[in-house]
Amino acid sequence: MCSLMCPDNCRFGKCNMQSGQCIECISGFHGNVCDQACPDNCGNSICSIQNGQCLIPLPERQTDDTCSYTGLYTGFAILGAFLGISVCFNICSIVLFLRQAKKIKSPNDPPETFGMQQSRSETHNYEGLDVAKLDNVKNIYDSI
C-alpha cells in the first residue's frame, strides 16, 4: 500500500507510490507535485508537467483601449466579407443563368394583332362586297 497521500492537484488522484510525484496534473498546474500554476497564455490552462510550457498557446494579445484579440477578429471579419461576396456572386450567377435558360426555351411569340383578324389570302379581303351596288356609285374621279 501507499505510505504517502497524493497531492491534491494530481489528476485522478494518481501519483508514484515511492516518490509521491504526480503522474498527471489537473488543468492549470505543473511540476513534480503539481504545485506550480501554468502561465496565463496557455489555452485551456494546459501546460507540460515537466517544464510548464503551454501545450496550446493562445494567440498574441494586443492590448489597446478595448483589450481585444484584434488579429483574431480581423481574420473573422475578412472571412465574413469573403463569404458574403461569394454568396452574392453565386445568387447573381444563378439568376442570370435562369434568365438565359428562359429566353432559350420560349420561342418568339408573334406580335399581337389587337382585335384585327388576319386574312388567309389577299383575295378574301373583298368577299362580302356586292359588285352590283358598286356600279351605281359615282366615280370620284369623274366629278373632278
| Confidence band, pLDDT 50/70/90 cuts, at residue 117 | low
How far, CA to CA in Å, does 132 sit from each of 129, 135, 136, 137? 9, 6, 7, 10
| Residue among 36, 62, 61, 58 nearest 49 (CA) | 36
What confidence tens digit (pLDDT) does each residue in 31-85 have?
Answer: 988 999 988 888 788 888 888 888 887 776 555 555 555 667 788 889 899 999 9
pLDDT at residue 86 greater than cutoff 90: yes
Give DSSP secondary structure letters for 30-85.
Answer: ESTTS-EEPPTTBGGG-B-TTT--BSSBPPPP--STT---HHHHHHHHHHHHHHHH
* Dihedral pair phi/psi, residue 102, rounded to 5°: -70, -40
Arithmetic mean of pLDDT over the chain: 75
